[in-house]
Amino acid sequence: MAGPPPPPSDPLTGAASATAADFVAALVRDGLVGPVFVVATDDSVGTLAPVWSEEFARIGWRHRVRVLAPVAGGAEIADVAEEIVGFGAGVIVVAAGPDLVAAVRRMAGSEGPPVVVWPAPPCPVEGNARPAD
């Protein structure tokens, strides 16, 4: 039987050129295992959900996506924590800005599944989009 999961890490965080296959390969390389619970904002989920579905299915990992506001309230985070436990997540992937990333990390704590930040695209010159870290 495998030991405890590795500590939270950020493989490929900020690597805008990384592909979904590269990201999933990094998760596997780091010894992480599914199922995967994805926490994302509306702007991330529209373009990334098909990619997650394809890549996680390719390696046989179930996944679930939960869409939250960029700054989620305490009740929302508590609800997500309960859902993560019920789902039996082996890893949490966050595709969001720094506020939501920090909230999910606090929620997972040291006892929860590892939290990994999905690589963010480069920041546009103007607008409100911002990389995850």
C-alpha radius of gyration, the chain, whole number: 14
Q: Where are the domains of the chain?
A: 20-117
Count CB neighbours of 72 within 10 A.
Answer: 21
- pLDDT tens digits for 2-50? 433 333 344 434 333 357 888 888 889 999 999 999 998 888 887 788 8
Q: Left, alpha or beta for 109 (phi > 0: left; psi -120 to 50: alpha)? A: left
Q: What is the pLDDT of residues 113-125, one digit of tens each?
A: 999 998 754 333 3
Fold for domain 20-117? Answer: Rossmann fold (3.40.50)
